[in-house]
Structure 1
Amino acid sequence: MEATNTGAAPIYDLLINERGDVIADAAHAAEQTRLKAADTLNFRLANNGTNDAA
């Protein structure tokens, strides 16, 4: 993950360079988890791709 260009926060920029962008990494991990959960909980596949509730 690349750090965002803040420009106005040199201390934050220094920390990102030293330790990595933890906030961006956490956001990426959360999005990957959300996508996996959505795929796992996709019950439409259980009835052969139809949306019939029969």
Structure 2
Amino acid sequence: MARGNQRDKAREKNLKEAAKKKNSNTLSGSEFQRKKEDDALKMREKQAKGEFV
């Protein structure tokens, strides 16, 4: 029976860690939108640079 208890404890630990990772987004809506636009601009610049090389 010790194995079953060990499995349950490991499962609980993994669920807690997954919950922490899931809630790690701390950006507000406007901050997220600004970051998204900045990232898109960087990607466009990167793609344009790649076309001329």
TM bucket normalised to smaller:
0.3 to 0.5
TM-score (norm 2): 0.45
Tell me the TM-score normalised to structure 1 length.
0.44
Give the structure with higher Rg (CA): 2
Q: Higher helix share goes to which structure?
A: 2
| Larger RCO (alpha carbons 8 Å, 6+ apart) | 1
